[in-house]
Structure 1
Amino acid sequence: MSDTREFKTNLTLYLKARVPFISIRSAERSRVLEIFREVAASLSNAPIFVHTLSQGTKELLTNRSANEDRSVVGAIDFASQQISQRQNLSFILTEVADIEDDTPFARQLQDTVMLAAEHGGVVIVVTTKPVWGQLQRLGMSLTLSSPTEDEMREIIHEQIEAYRSQLPIEWDESDEKQAAAILTGISRIEAENIIATLLATGGIKKADLVELMHAKDRIFADISGIERVQVRGAELNVGGLGGLKSWLDRERPLLTADLRERGIRPPRGVLLVGVPGCGKSLSAKAIAHNWSLPLYRLDLSTIHGQYLGQSEGRLKDALSTADHVSPCVLWIDEIEKGLAGATQGANDGGTSTRLVGQFLYWLQEARARVFVVATANDVSKLPPELLRRGRFDELFFVDLPTPEERKEIINIYAMRGLKQELPSALMQELVEASDGFAGSDLESAVREVVKEAYLHGDNAVTSDLFRRSFQNVVPLSKTSPEQIENIRAWGRERAVPASGIPIGGTEIQVRPRRTVLA
């Protein structure tokens, strides 16, 4: 049974039982009232009135004005008067405020609800916020979630089916399913507006599926909690990491597939640990670009607040936003910095521990198509719970690039900045000279050559210039070899090599994906 049908069934039962107070959590007022009209038609002996600030109080089915006082207080007074005089009346308040805590208005509403309990009346509140505990305990609560994937497919089908004989519509059943998967998380009216905008262009093409992601992204562009990252494809060619790339190619079709019948969830994400400067953060951007998905960044270090519960609330809002903008890639850079307090015994009243628990619960239980790419440099600060099976789909170790990977990385930056490949002999010399270099070290060395080419012309680029530029780089593997070896030792025991090649070994196969039952 779909969420909407379940909501409608429970609402009908509560109205028949004359539960004196019903709170409905939803941001879709028009959709809630539409369901109420359907229910009211089957309960002809129970009049239902609805109040809005723009129109006052009206009878729901006939739209007849019952009280012209548009204020919420006036609506409460009118409801109290009518309930005390007549039996089985129901009043819907769509724009209430100040009912989260013990306020004078919440007390007034409580008095009206107690009066309704004596006369068979019902007071319904439609809100997006919690309700004061003493008031809520007088009745029941319902939540009308955004349309499910199946409901969204019905909405899309209804929108475009009427135009198939008038406009070129390229979408078939599988395209409608994919469109529903993309738009899940937004309201019915938002989905209808997006489809109507596509139809206004004169038809719907296969390529419009990508436009759906952009349209959905624009809806949530100003929502706080996570930061939208603009991805420029020309800068996202990642060298090496063959094992990671193969794994991602295999997982990509599963992100938007309907896997419910198989009992598994969509890919949840990867944790990339390893040597600093070897392409972990760049990989997050490359995944979003290659998968044609919006990229959002969650900075855990900025969500900590000074008041009790503030940090947890900020994290909850951020993760909820990620669920709504799905399908997307959520990039969490240096995740150990935001969660380190839980492993170091931070004197923060247990906030860090609660944040870890909240994040891990979302990571394991949420079903939205959010692919998490988390990166970490200091593996000693990672909470042990983060590494347990069932959290991330895979844990990859990003090591210093191999000779073949260094060659590929140097060539990428040379082609980007100089528009030409290097001679084979020079390339081999640079590969040997860059032993122990991270990807960022290679980029830095080639960038110095590109600067000289810009300042003095391409003729200034010589083999000696390349040699000097590479000799001037002192990599982390030379300044802190113990740190690198400790990271490598950790990776050998706990992670899959992102390059597909073990340290000092030959190419291996990535182990099978960790399948997690839904």
Structure 2
Amino acid sequence: MNTADFVDAFTRVFKARVPFVLVQTTERKRALELIRDICRRQSTEAFVHTLSKGTYDIATERVVNEDRSVVGAVDHASQQMMQRQNLTFVLTELDEVETDSQFARQLLDTVILATEKSGAIVAIATKPIWSQLQRQGMALRLSPPDQDEMLASIRAQIADYRGMMPIDWDEQDEVRAATTLAGVTQIEAENIIAMVAAKGAIKKADFAELNRAKDNIFSDVSGIERVEVRPDVLQVGGLSGLQAWLERKRPLLTADLRERNIRPPRGVLLVGVPGCGKSLSAKAIAARFEVPLYRLDLANLMGMYVGQSEGRLREALAAADRVAPCVLWIDEIEKGLGASSSDSSGVTTRLIGQFLFWLQESSARVFVVATANDVSKLPPELLRRGRFDELFFVDLPTPDERRDIIGLYVRNGRLGALSDEVLDELVRLSDGFAGADIEAAVKDVVEEAFLHGDAAIGDDLFRSSFRNVVPLSKTSPERIEAIRAWGRERAVPASGSPIGTPSDRAPVRRAVLLG
């Protein structure tokens, strides 16, 4: 719950004198400040224990018990509640209370005493506690600041810098910063903004630094793997239809959409011919959106024990929610969620249900890019409208796209520009090539240039290199046609041209690209 909901709930629990309250949060300082304010408004005497100070009065910060151990703090609370009514003690350092232990039972006895004396024990912790202890009271969760709270905090912090340094951020930039820092604690957000301001100016280009700082905070999240995106993946040859659609969706990933009750973009499912740039597109999307890229490997989530796979997937998706906004890349999704005759235990079915529920209900700004090669194994429920924002088919590149891809790899290899005549010939030679086939052909020339110098590179070397490649479309034409036939009926062409046809014909389903 956000700050307002937490304050309201804690105030009511406080008035009701519930004997035990568990506050689950990673922000101890923020929780203590809120509890202190509530105690002041209620004119209630309360004490706090920390390992560094012992037990002190929450209002005056006067130390009342110098024993810094948690056991000593609980003993002190018991003694005081035996003598006085309506006392509240806040414990910030609990240990060995997750299960039935000697200290957990000691704390339980103190809570029972608090019930008799109209007292209260408040525990601030990050983990669940012993069930017998929890049943004596209530648990409240204080979440990190939501977008409105983060925005207010950022604006207040930036206001302190105005007049001291140049500030290029406008209101939309402040909203974008609040969205970017969603999921981090208040003190973490304040530290990140202070680090940006330490350069002596706050500029629009600082959003990349905000993403890096947040990524460092969540660098050890479990279940998903951080993928570094090199600058050269910003360039993707062809796929103009997909790129136009992404450009239209890009502002929606970080904008405040609540005014129109619009859901943030959920993602795309890329299916099609192997080697045509589906995985590369996932990296390019993260670079285009200027957000970190994480990879979810469904195959590695599988466990040998009952419920283990589902638990790992739940943790991975929760981790993705915490690092949002981000791009979550699921490569070859059919291998993890595809139909399998050997799945007699129903694990795959439960994983599909769990993933689809998260895909439908999660409000985090996680843009999912799922890729698939074997479309026949995709479960029908994954393809239903509303799961992904769009289903794109990535076909073999058209002549114009092959021209772009050849030029891209030639430039990346630091080779000299090809003449129009040679480029036209290579486009003809590469008929039926996937993007990976073109990359392999140009790579052979780049390696030759590295070994023997640019003087050894000629037009004939390019021609022979392209002739030596035998693409999948020639070795398995039936497989390619089957994949294309599936895509014609179910998907939007990523190139903007009809699937399996020349590029000079009118595109199909243009309306989806125009919104």
Match of 2:173 in 1: 175
Residue 325 of structure 2 aligns to which amino acid in structure 1? Answer: P
Q: CA deviation at 1:390?
A: 1.9
Residue 272 of structure 1 aligns to a residue whose secondary structure is strand
Residue 92 of structure 1 aligns to a residue whose secondary structure is strand
Residue 25 of structure 2 aligns to which amino acid in structure 1? Answer: S
Equivalent positions of 1:226-375 (< 5 A) are 226-340=224-338, 343-347=339-343, 349-375=345-371
Match of 2:420 in 1: 424
Equivalent positions of 1:504-515 (< 5 A) are 504=501, 506-512=506-512
Aligned with residue 120 of structure 1, among 109, 118, 121 = 118
Q: CA deviation at 1:86?
A: 2.1
Match of 1:377 in 2: 373
Match of 2:67 in 1: 69
Match of 1:410 in 2: 406
- C-alpha distance in 2 between matches for 1:173 and 1:33: 31
Moved more, 470-479 or 69-78: 69-78
The alignment's C-alpha RMSD in Å is 2.1
* Residue 127 (structure 2) pairs with residue 140 (structure 1): no
Q: CA deviation at 1:224?
A: 3.1
- C-alpha distance in 1 between matches for 2:259 and 2:388: 22
Distance 1:69 1:310, change over 3 A: farther
Distance 1:348 1:154, change over 3 A: farther
Match of 2:471 in 1: 475
Moved more, 303-312 or 204-213: 303-312
Match of 2:100 in 1: 102
Match of 1:152 in 2: 150
Q: CA deviation at 1:433?
A: 2.1
- C-alpha distance in 2 between matches for 1:71 and 1:350: 49
What does the per-residue CA deviation read over 1:239-294, in whole Å, with 9 as the maximum and x for residues that have no partner? 11111011001111111111101111111111111111000010111112222222
Match of 2:385 in 1: 389
Task: Please tell me whether the aligned partners of residues 390 and 514 of structure 1 are also in contact (alpha carbons under 8 angstroms).
Answer: no
Residue 344 of structure 1 aligns to a residue whose secondary structure is coil
Distance 1:32 1:445, change over 3 A: same
Residue 207 of structure 1 aligns to a residue whose secondary structure is helix
Aligned with residue 444 of structure 1, among 428, 440, 445 = 440
Task: Please tell me whether the aligned partners of residues 169 and 203 of structure 2 are also in contact (alpha carbons under 8 angstroms).
Answer: yes
Q: CA deviation at 1:513?
A: 7.5
Residue 182 of structure 2 aligns to which amino acid in structure 1? Answer: T
Equivalent positions of 1:190-201 (< 5 A) are 190-201=188-199
Match of 1:20 in 2: 19
Residue 508 of structure 1 aligns to which amino acid in structure 2? Answer: V
Match of 1:494 in 2: 490
Which blocks of at least 5 consecutive residues in structure 1 are unaligned? none
Distance 1:43 1:78, change over 3 A: same
Residue 31 of structure 1 aligns to which amino acid in structure 2? Answer: R
Task: Please tell me whether the aligned partners of residues 233 and 283 of structure 2 are also in contact (alpha carbons under 8 angstroms).
Answer: no
* Residue 209 (structure 2) pairs with residue 216 (structure 1): no
- C-alpha distance in 1 between matches for 2:125 and 2:342: 37
Q: CA deviation at 1:29?
A: 0.3
Task: Please tell me whether the aligned partners of residues 222 and 316 of structure 2 are also in contact (alpha carbons under 8 angstroms).
Answer: yes
Task: Please tell me whether the aligned partners of residues 394 and 514 of structure 1 are also in contact (alpha carbons under 8 angstroms).
Answer: no
Under a length normalisation based on structure 2, what TM-score does the superposition of the two structures give?
0.94
Moved more, 326-335 or 316-325: 316-325
Residue 419 of structure 1 aligns to a residue whose secondary structure is coil
Residue 66 of structure 1 aligns to a residue whose secondary structure is strand
Task: Please tell me whether the aligned partners of residues 346 and 352 of structure 1 are also in contact (alpha carbons under 8 angstroms).
Answer: no
Residue 453 of structure 1 aligns to which amino acid in structure 2? Answer: A
Q: CA deviation at 1:128?
A: 1.6
Task: Please tell me whether the aligned partners of residues 296 and 316 of structure 2 are also in contact (alpha carbons under 8 angstroms).
Answer: yes
Residue 506 of structure 2 aligns to which amino acid in structure 1? Answer: T
- C-alpha distance in 2 between matches for 1:50 and 1:317: 33
Q: CA deviation at 1:394?
A: 0.7
Distance 1:207 1:311, change over 3 A: same
Q: CA deviation at 1:137?
A: 2.4
Under a length normalisation based on structure 1, what TM-score does the superposition of the two structures give?
0.93
What does the per-residue CA deviation read over 1:345-368, in whole Å, with 9 as the maximum and x for residues that have no partner? 544744333322222222222222
Which blocks of at least 5 consecutive residues in structure 2 are unaligned? none
Q: CA deviation at 1:30?
A: 0.3
- C-alpha distance in 2 between matches for 1:185 and 1:224: 16
Task: Please tell me whether the aligned partners of residues 389 and 514 of structure 1 are also in contact (alpha carbons under 8 angstroms).
Answer: no
Moved more, 215-224 or 284-293: 215-224
Q: CA deviation at 1:393?
A: 0.8
Task: Please tell me whether the aligned partners of residues 236 and 282 of structure 1 are also in contact (alpha carbons under 8 angstroms).
Answer: no
Moved more, 94-103 or 144-153: 94-103
Residue 5 of structure 2 aligns to which amino acid in structure 1? Answer: E
- C-alpha distance in 1 between matches for 2:445 and 2:369: 32
Q: Which runs of 4+ in 1 moved over 6 A?
A: none
Q: CA deviation at 1:118?
A: 2.0
Task: Please tell me whether the aligned partners of residues 241 and 513 of structure 2 are also in contact (alpha carbons under 8 angstroms).
Answer: no
- C-alpha distance in 2 between matches for 1:360 and 1:131: 31
How many pairs does the alignment contain?
Answer: 511
